[in-house]
Amino acid sequence: MNLTALLLAAVLCACTCALSVTHHAEDRA
């Protein structure tokens, strides 16, 4: 498995999750 591709996927998922959580937090505020 390509380590670079795996790392990139992990970072992308983390960014997406962070944006999603932040967006929901703003909606609840």
d(CA 12, CA 17) in angstroms, rounded, equals 9
Single pTM value for the model: 0.61
Q: Looking at the chain, which runs of residues are DSSP E strands?
A: none
| pLDDT tens string 1-29 | 699 999 999 999 999 999 998 887 777 76
d(CA 24, CA 10) in angstroms, rounded, equals 21
Query: Structural domain tally of the chain?
Result: 1
Q: What is the pLDDT of residue 22?
A: 84
Q: In which domain, by residue range, is 9 found?
A: 1-29
Q: What is the pLDDT of residue 15?
A: 92
